[in-house]
Amino acid sequence: MKLTRRNLLIFSSAGVAATAMGSLPAFASLTDDAIAALTGGADMGTGVITITAPEIAENGNTVPIGVDAPGAESITLFADGNPVPAVATFAFGPLAASNAASTRIRLATTQNVIAVAKMQDGSFQMAKANVKVTIGGCGG
Amino acid sequence: MASGVKPRVKVPKKAAAGETITIKTLISHKMESGQRKDSDGNVIPRSIINRFTADFNGQNVIDVTLEPAISTNPYFQFEAVVPESGEFTFTWYDDDGDVYDTSKKIAVS
C-alpha cells in the first residue's frame, strides 16, 4: 500500500485506539458495578455470545448492534463509556426462535460494548466489542 | 410525549408451522435521554419508552427493557417461531404512562 496522507491517518488513529483499549475509560467502574449487580459477582464464561457491531461508527447517536447468545435466557447490554452504562435487556420468551436481537444504540465516545447473558442453567456469559465513534459523523 | 408516536412493524403475512420468522419493529419516539441540556443550560427531563414486548397468541416472544442509551426511534429485530395461525401483539410502554400497541395477523399453513 502506498503511504499516502490518508493511509497515514488511518494507521495513526488505529494506533491511538489500541492504546486506549489498554487503559479502561473512567466510567469502567460504573459498568463493573452494574454487571456485578446483575450477576451477583458470579464468574462469567466467554465464547458463547456473538456481538455484531461496526468497528467504526460515524454517528454515535445510532449505532447498530446485534447480539446472539444461543441458550440464553436474557441478554443485557452495557456501554462502558456512557454516563449510564446500562443499554438494554432482552428477555426471551417461549416463542423466541433464536436468542438473538438487533437494535440501535447511543454511544457517547469510543468504548466497549459489553453483553452479559444469563444462561438457562443460571450461569453467566460475557462478550465485549470495541466500537470507535467518530463524533459528529465528520468521517475523519 | 404522546404526539407523533407511530409504531411500524414488519411481519410476514404467512409462514409454515414451526418456521422461524424475522420480525422488525420501529416506533417513532424522541427517546429524550435526560442527559441533554437546552440553550439555557437546564437539563431536559428524561422521556423514553422503557419497555417493549412482543407476544403471539398470548405467549411471550421477547421482552425488552430499554434504557436512555437506546437511539431515537427505537428499532428492534428478532426471530420468532409460529406454531399456528394467530396474531402478534406488540406493546411499547412510555415513561409518561402511555402504552402504544399494534398487532399483526399471520396465516400458518
What ipTM was reported for this prediction?
0.89
Among A86-95, B34-43, B91-100, where is mean pLDDT lowest? B34-43
Q: Are B71 and A63 inside 8 Å of each other by CB?
A: yes
For the segment A30-34, the average pLDDT, to the nearest whole number, is 87
- DSSP states of chain B: --TT--EEEE--SEE-TT-EEEEEEEE----B-S--B-TTSPBPPPB-EEEEEEEETTEEEEEEEE-TTBPSS-EEEEEEE-SSSEEEEEEEEETTS-EEEEEEEEEE-
In contact, A37 and A124? CB cutoff 8 Å: no
How far, rounded to the nearest angstrom, does the alpha carbon of residue A38 sit from its chain's CA centroid?
Answer: 16
pLDDT at A20: 47
For the segment B77-88, the average pLDDT, to the nearest whole number, is 93
The shortest CB-CB distance from B78 to any of A62, A88, A96 is to A96
Q: In what order do the strands lie in the sheet with B75-81?
A: A50-52, A63-68, A96-105, B75-81, B20-27, B7-10
Which chain A residues touch B78 with a CB distance below 8 Å?
90, 96, 98, 100-102
Which chain B residues touch A88 with a CB distance below 8 Å?
64-67, 69-70
DSSP 8-state symbol, A109: S
Give dist(CA B34, CA B23) in Å, integer: 30
Tally of helices (H runs) and strands (E runs) in chain A: 2, 9
The interface residues of chain A toward chain B in range 30-89, judged by CB-CB distance below 8 A, are: 61-63, 66, 79, 82-84, 86-89
Radius of gyration of chain A (CA): 16
Where b means 16+ CB within 10 Å and e means fewer, A30-53 reads: bbeebbeebbeeeeeeeebbebeb
DSSP 8-state symbol, A60: T
The Cβ of residue A6 has, within 10 Å, a number of other Cβ atoms equal to 9
For the segment B29-35, the average pLDDT, to the nearest whole number, is 88
Where is pLDDT greater, at B76 or A60? B76
For the segment A111-125, the average pLDDT, to the nearest whole number, is 92
pLDDT at A3: 59
* The pLDDT of residue B105 is above 70: yes
460475557: which residue's cell?
A126
The shortest CB-CB distance from A105 to any of B20, B64, B69 is to B69
pLDDT at A135: 66
Q: What is the pTM of this model?
A: 0.81
Give dist(CA B96, CA A75) in Å, integer: 26
Give dist(CA A55, CA A113) in Å, integer: 11
For the segment A38-52, the average pLDDT, to the nearest whole number, is 89
pLDDT at B87: 93
